[in-house]
């Protein structure tokens, strides 16, 4: 009887497992069409950020000959976010629309992608891609004047009910430039921003195909 019970239990488990597997539909099997949400959310650079270095503070004393007490804490002070603020200011001074640039590169990449070009539409789709830029930075090498730009991109796909069915993130660096040239030359700045953005969008699209 015990043997029969185990067989029945195993059969039920396999049945539910098979049903569950059939119900797991990948996003590309769900989405017959999708469009890009018209607004790209871009967060402003914070004035300060946590320091990459921490300071350890400690205090100790003896209670008796063999017993000691040590009290310690770690402090991570905030520092000025100068590089990111300089980049944000340079983008504004040169009248560069980061939002338009991201939408243009995303749309162009989708329209030229062999897999998605027939699924990507301007409007009327059941699914919508939302893009967020949580931060963008200019990073430089220590002891040199060379610098590069990194634009962080978050992607979400939502259905008509507003449910997020897929999300991903990507960040890639541009080629290297002299920092002063990058911030003061509009053409170089646009080139660096597009380079970082395009690399990240290509990565996001590739990951979408795998899902």
Do 74 and 106 share a domain, yes or no? no
pLDDT tens digit string along 50-88? 444 455 555 555 444 444 555 556 555 444 555 677 888
Does 100 lie in the same domain as 38?
Answer: yes
Whether residue 1 is contained in a domain is answered as no
pLDDT of residue 22: 36
pLDDT score recorded for residue 121: 93
Residues 68 and 112 grouped into a single domain: no
Whether 120 and 182 share a structural domain: yes
Residue 125 lies in a domain: yes
Provide the residue range defining the domain that includes 201. 26-46+81-209
- Block means of pLDDT (10 residues each) for the chain, length 211 residues? 48 46 62 92 66 51 49 53 76 94 96 94 91 90 83 95 93 91 93 96 94 79
Same domain for 108 and 67, yes or no, is no
Rounded distance between C-alpha atoms, residue 176 and residue 145, angstroms:
10
Look up residue 120 and give its DSSP letter: B
**What is the rounded CA–CA span in Å between residue 106 and residue 116?**
12
- In 3-state terms, what secondary structure has residue 163? coil
Domain total of the chain: 2
The three-point CA angle 128-203-35 to 5° equals 15
Residue 138 forms part of a structural domain? yes
Same structural domain, 62 and 152: no
pLDDT of residue 156: 96
Would you say residue 16 lies in a domain? no
Whether residue 143 lies inside any domain: the answer is yes
pLDDT reported for residue 211: 79
Q: Can you tell me the distance from the alpha carbon of 198 to that of 102, in angstroms, rounded to the nearest whole number?
A: 8
Supply the angle between the helices 98-111 and 186-209 in degrees, to the nearest 10: 40
**Does the residue 170 lie in any domain?**
yes
pTM strictly above 0.85: no
Tell whether 68 and 172 lie within a shared domain: no
- E-state strands within 106-193: 127-133, 136-140, 146-158, 164-173, 177-178
**Based on the domain organization, do 96 and 40 belong to the same domain?**
yes
Three-state SS sequence of 8-23: HHHHHHHHHHHHHHHH
pLDDT of residue 6: 44
* Predicted local confidence at residue 72, as pLDDT: 55
In a domain, 196, yes or no: yes
In-domain check, residue 19:
no
199 and 182 in a single domain? The answer is yes
């Amino acid at each position: 009887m015990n043997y029969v019970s185990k067989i029945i239990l195993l059969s039920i488990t396999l049945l539910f497992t098979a049903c569950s597997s059939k119900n797991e539909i990948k996003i590309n099997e769900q989405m017959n069409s999708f469009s890009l949400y018209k607004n790209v959310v871009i967060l402003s650079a914070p004035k300060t950020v946590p320091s990459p270095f921490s300071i350890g503070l400690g205090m100790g004393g003896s209670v008796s000959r063999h017993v000691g007490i040590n009290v310690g804490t770690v402090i991570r002070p905030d520092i000025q976010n100068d590089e990111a603020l300089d980049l944000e200011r340079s983008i504004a001074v040169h009248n560069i629309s980061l939002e338009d640039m991201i939408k243009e590169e995303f749309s162009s990449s989708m329209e030229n992608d062999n897999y998605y070009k027939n699924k990507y539409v301007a409007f009327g789709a059941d699914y919508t891609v939302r893009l967020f830029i949580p931060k963008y930075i200019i990073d430089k090498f220590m002891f040199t004047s060379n610098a590069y730009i990194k634009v962080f991109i978050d992607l979400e796909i939502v259905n008509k009910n507003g449910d997020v069915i897929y999300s991903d993130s990507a960040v890639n660096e541009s080629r290297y430039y002299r920092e002063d040239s990058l911030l003061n030359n509009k053409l170089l700045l646009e080139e660096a921003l597009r380079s970082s953005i395009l690399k990240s969008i290509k990565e996001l699209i590739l990951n979408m195909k795998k899902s």
